[in-house]
Amino acid sequence: MHGFFSLYEDLGAGSEQISLAYAIASISELPVIACSVFALRRWSARSLTTATGFVYAIRMLL
């Protein structure tokens, strides 16, 4: 998803805005990474990967 931020340059966004978008997107993932320990204790890595794959596919369709 983050790879699409650079397309905003064609729409007139400056490099500062694109860099800020990348930074915010990266920082917003930190809580998810921190909580992944708890999810991995409850579910297997395979089931989590499968579930996130389905969620990502639905997200792309919307």
Residues 6 or more apart whose CB falls under 8 angstroms from that of 48 comprise 39, 40
What's the pLDDT at 5? Answer: 76
Q: What is the pLDDT of residue 47?
A: 96
11's CB contacts (< 8 A; 6+ apart) are none
- The answer to whether the beta carbons of residues 25 and 5 sit under 8 Å apart is yes
User: Rounded to whole angstroms, how far apart are CA atoms 23 and 12?
Assistant: 19
**Residues with Cβ < 8 Å from 1, sequence gap 6 or more?**
25
Q: pLDDT in tens for each of the 62 residues of the chain?
A: 556 777 888 888 888 998 898 899 899 999 999 999 999 999 999 999 999 999 999 999 98
Output the pLDDT for position 38. Answer: 94
